[in-house]
Amino acid sequence: MNYHSELSRIHWHELATVIERAPLGKRDPDFVEKTYRGSYVYCFVEDNGKLIGAGRAISDGVSNSAIYDVVVLPEYQGKGIGKSIVQYLLDRLPRRSVLLVSAPKQEDFYRKLGFHKLKTAYLRHEEIERWISEGYIEEKPSRHHIE
């Protein structure tokens, strides 16, 4: 396995496919490229030149960071690759505070990596109904919010 952070080696259609198969949902390759290029650090994993996993993080570079889109192709899951992606990102981030949004049913995986579930994290999202239907949201959002 080869772990790297070289954007020039990435084919965005291929990464969008890995994200979809992981499964984190279908994403437009241009959108994927913009999110990675706008991130503080990223990790890509290849097996004999084939992209099999990735992850990214944003940060202020001093104290606060957030990890997103940790993905591994299903046929490579359960082999420690996701853990290595998270460690790769953590090694390059300020560690005072690192937030991570877990896919439903992956909470135990992140607990084993030292993450703690928050009681007071909140989200505003343009596609909140999808997040509700996919099990990311525990409560129905209030319709009394400011636009």
85: pLDDT strictly greater than 90: yes
Predicted local confidence at residue 142, as pLDDT = 63
Percent of the chain with pLDDT over 70: 94
pLDDT for residue 145 is more than 60: no
The class level of CATH for 2-118 reads: alpha beta
d(CA 99, CA 118): 9
Residue 23, preceding bond cis, omega within 30 degrees? yes
* Residue-level pLDDT at 144: 53
Mind listing the pLDDT tens digit for each residue in 18-71? 999 999 999 999 999 999 999 999 999 999 999 999 999 999 999 999 999 999
pLDDT at 140 over 70: no
Domain range list for the chain = 2-118
Cα end-to-end distance, the chain, whole Å: 46
Query: Is the pTM value of this prediction over 0.95?
Result: no
- List the 64-72 sheet strands across, edge first: 2-4, 41-47, 50-59, 64-72, 97-100
Of residues 107, 106, 131, 126, the one with CA closest to residue 117: 107
